[in-house]
Structure 1
Amino acid sequence: MGQRPVDSGGSGTNPRSGRQETEEERADRQWGDLLQELRVAQTGVQILFGFLLAVVFQPRFADLSTVDRNIYVVTVMLGSATAAALIGPVSYHRLLTGRRMKPQTVTWASRLTKLGLGLLFCTMCSTLLLILRVALHNVAALWLVGGMALWFLVCWFVFPLWAIARDNGRRSDDGRRSTGGGEAPDAADPGPRP
């Protein structure tokens, strides 16, 4: 995000994607991609948040211990913060539409989305803790939530970071092979001199 095309005429190949597009075209494409991602996350957050809001009106809520009520309050606050972060990009886009700030909008919307995913992770773990404490009434709830938290981290963060690391390793291997030596080419080196 935010990289300028190669030539000064405003169009060129994006070194990261290999696409021939202007900065505005790239921002439009990235915005469309981000909207698709947000649709998935927002639906889940809205369902989860609706469930959380309904819990307090259930007859058994009065029977919850003080600890469970505190977990519930924290969970509802996390759910609210998650909804705000994942719906925020829509408001950001709407307020900046027509101001020729699409690249900046995509950057900030992406940051809000990442924050929202982190908050969603916390909300999911807190929700699981509340439900499993009520269902099991023992320490097994903590172990189960810990296991699921680890699984969320692996699926949401470890796998993507692993893919990035593998891609970076592949690119550096390709660079070493293309130069015929053991070192990757220096980006600042202009190449052979006449």
Structure 2
Amino acid sequence: MGEHERLERNATMPWTDESMRSNRQTEDGDLAEMLGELRILLPTAQLLSAFLIAVPFAPGFNDLVGAEKGVFLATFLLSITSLVLLSAPAVQHRLLRPLANRASFKTLATRQIVLGASAMALALVLATQLVLSAVLGHLVGNIAAAGIALFAGGVWWMVPQGWRRRGIL
């Protein structure tokens, strides 16, 4: 097929090899970008989980009352949940290669990342409450945890939504 025929075919058939290749390159870039974003989130989840794993073995852990142990357990479970959810897209990508449906994979991976980030945000809020309650008292711990919840919710969710509404990004 000559160059002229190929160009004519491409103009009338948007699903040609060239357009599919272009879409795939865009999707590959989006996927690489998404996996790069995970490289930012995962260390936070890993570090938080690592510290929380050590807490029960520290002196004084047995002195915690029931409610404080409940906050610790919730924090620990949320941290581990975020770690699993945030690592899932990378593992799934490796197991499913080559991807048959990149758009569906990106949708699923995005949902897992958002759920993982939500679990991590809650774990950070509870960790703030736990630490500051132990150091400065329950009132300060609760106020600081509420502040961190508002801050994380604002920066991670409300700011991007505001940008989208205003057409900034």
Seen in structure 2, the aligned counterparts of structure 1 residues 159 and 137 have a Cα distance that, compared at 3 Å, is same
Matched, 1:87 2:94: no
Matched, 1:77 2:77: yes
SS at match of 1:150: helix
2-structure distance, mates of 1:74, 1:38: 23
Q: CA shift at 1:99, angstroms?
A: 4.4
Q: Which residue of 2 aligns with 1:9?
A: 16
The code of the aligned residue for 1:40 comes to I
2-structure distance, mates of 1:138, 1:76: 19
The code of the aligned residue for 2:14 comes to D
1-structure distance, mates of 2:25, 2:57: 48
Q: Which residue of 1 aligns with 2:110?
A: 110
The code of the aligned residue for 1:164 comes to R
Long gaps (5+) in structure 2: 1-12
SS at match of 1:22: helix
Long gaps (5+) in structure 1: 1-5, 13-19, 171-194
Deviations 1:99-154 (A, max 9, x none): 43333222211111111111111111111111111112231211111111111111
Matched, 1:68 2:75: no
**What do you get for the CA RMSD once the two structures are aligned?**
2.1
SS at match of 2:25: helix
The code of the aligned residue for 1:97 comes to R
Q: Work out the percentage of aligned pairs sharing the same amino acid.
A: 24
Point out which structure has higher relative CO (alpha carbons under 8 A, 6+ apart): 2
> When the two structures are aligned, how many residues end up with a matched partner?
157
Runs of at least 4 residues off by over 6 Å:
none
Seen in structure 2, the aligned counterparts of structure 1 residues 21 and 44 have a Cα distance that, compared at 3 Å, is same
What is the TM-score when the length of structure 2 is the normalising length? 0.85
Seen in structure 2, the aligned counterparts of structure 1 residues 74 and 109 have a Cα distance that, compared at 3 Å, is same
2-structure distance, mates of 1:70, 1:99: 41
Seen in structure 2, the aligned counterparts of structure 1 residues 138 and 167 have a Cα distance that, compared at 3 Å, is same
Q: Which residue of 2 aligns with 1:151?
A: 151
Deviations 1:38-87 (A, max 9, x none): 00000111001000001111001111111111111111111111111000
2-structure distance, mates of 1:138, 1:98: 51
Q: CA shift at 1:21, angstroms?
A: 6.6
Contact in 2 for aligned 1:132/1:141 (Cα 8 Å): yes
